[in-house]
């Protein structure tokens, strides 16, 4: 049984999937399986993935219901590892990514969700100096800082960089569809009372940032406000929520306290 299950939801990414798959194949840490979820691909994506079948522990699973959340939950249903890693069909992992994350999680059993620093690249792979909020992205390291960011509506865990303990799925049951385009932040917020979070200081992922005309920046603020008020009501957090979008460089210690 592999220690890590790498879940890759796929939809028509034939131009980038070979590089993404190769970056997983070339990990220095080898105790993993790949669960590739075919979410109604109509191009050659799956044919490219199949090229890696001889060299990797690879499962290709179909998910007929369209969307990232059904695809992710389908992948989770078929996982067997104690850790779950996320990859996308257009992102690139640096070779030491899994090794460093597995080592950190082995040494820190209280941490259930672990990310890394990232490079942001555009659709053709060119490095970008700023993220979607107009700042250089530097993710917080400690659990309290990460949780504060989340409650401000800013996602401090890059989805295709994350490794999390599969036992957490038994607590929350997987991803939910109700907050479109913020399914990862929603999941982290649901896990906030149940585990600790961390980000490595190492930059280990090249993350492809694409323009999404359907994205609504109010959604993460809404989901954060919902959970902020819920957790404050139950005494899990203290302090007031500032009425602004959270900048990466602000001092998290100035705003609220995670009890």
How is 181-199 classified by DSSP, letter by letter?
Answer: T-HHHHHHHHHTTT-EEEE
Q: What is the mean pLDDT of residues 55-81?
A: 96
The residue assigned the tokens 């069909």 is 89
Q: What is the mean pLDDT of residues 240-251?
A: 53
pLDDT above 70 for 110: yes
Residue 30 CB coordination number (10 Å): 13
pLDDT above 90 for 93: yes
Contact 101, 197 (CB under 8 A): no
pLDDT above 70 for 214: no
Give tens-digit pLDDT for 159-204.
999 999 999 999 999 999 887 789 999 999 999 999 999 999 999 9
Mean pLDDT of the chain: 88
* pLDDT band, very low/low/confident/very high, at 218 (cuts 50, 70, 90): confident
pTM for the model:
0.90
pLDDT above 70 for 258: no
- The pLDDT of residue 121 is 86
Q: Is the dihedral of CA 211, 212, 218, 220 positive or negative?
A: negative
* pLDDT band, very low/low/confident/very high, at 134 (cuts 50, 70, 90): very low
CA 212 to chain centre: 18
113 sits in the region (left: phi over 0; alpha: psi -120 to 50; else beta) called beta
Lowest mean per-residue pLDDT among 85-89, 112-116, 207-211? 207-211
């Amino acid at each position: 049984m592999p220690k890590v299950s790498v879940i890759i939801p796929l939809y028509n990414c034939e131009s980038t999937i070979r590089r993404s798959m190769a970056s997983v194949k070339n990990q220095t840490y080898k105790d993993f399986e790949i669960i590739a979820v075919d979410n109604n691909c109509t191009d050659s994506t799956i044919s490219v993935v199949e090229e890696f079948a001889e060299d990797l522990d690879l499962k290709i699973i179909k998910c007929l219901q369209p969307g990232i959340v059904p695809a992710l939950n389908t992948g989770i249903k078929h996982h067997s590892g104690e850790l779950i890693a996320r990859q996308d069909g257009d992102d690139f992992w640096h070779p030491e990514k899994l090794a460093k994350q597995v080592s950190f999680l082995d040494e820190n059993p209280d941490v259930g969700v672990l990310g890394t620093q990232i490079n942001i690249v555009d659709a053709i792979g060119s490095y970008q100096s700023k993220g979607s909020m107009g700042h250089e992205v530097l993710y917080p390291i400690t659990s309290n800082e990460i949780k504060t960011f989340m409650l401000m509506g800013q996602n401090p865990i890059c989805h295709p960089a994350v490794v999390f303990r599969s036992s957490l799925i038994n607590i929350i049951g997987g991803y939910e569809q109700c907050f479109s385009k913020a399914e990862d932040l929603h999941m982290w917020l649901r896990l906030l009372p149940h585990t600790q979070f961390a980000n490595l200081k190492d930059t280990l992922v090249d993350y492809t940032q694409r323009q999404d005309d359907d994205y609504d920046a109010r959604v993460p603020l809404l989901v954060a406000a919902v959970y902020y008020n819920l957790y404050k009501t139950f005494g899990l957090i203290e302090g007031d929520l500032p009425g602004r979008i959270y900048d990466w460089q602000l001092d998290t210690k100035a705003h609220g306290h995670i009890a």
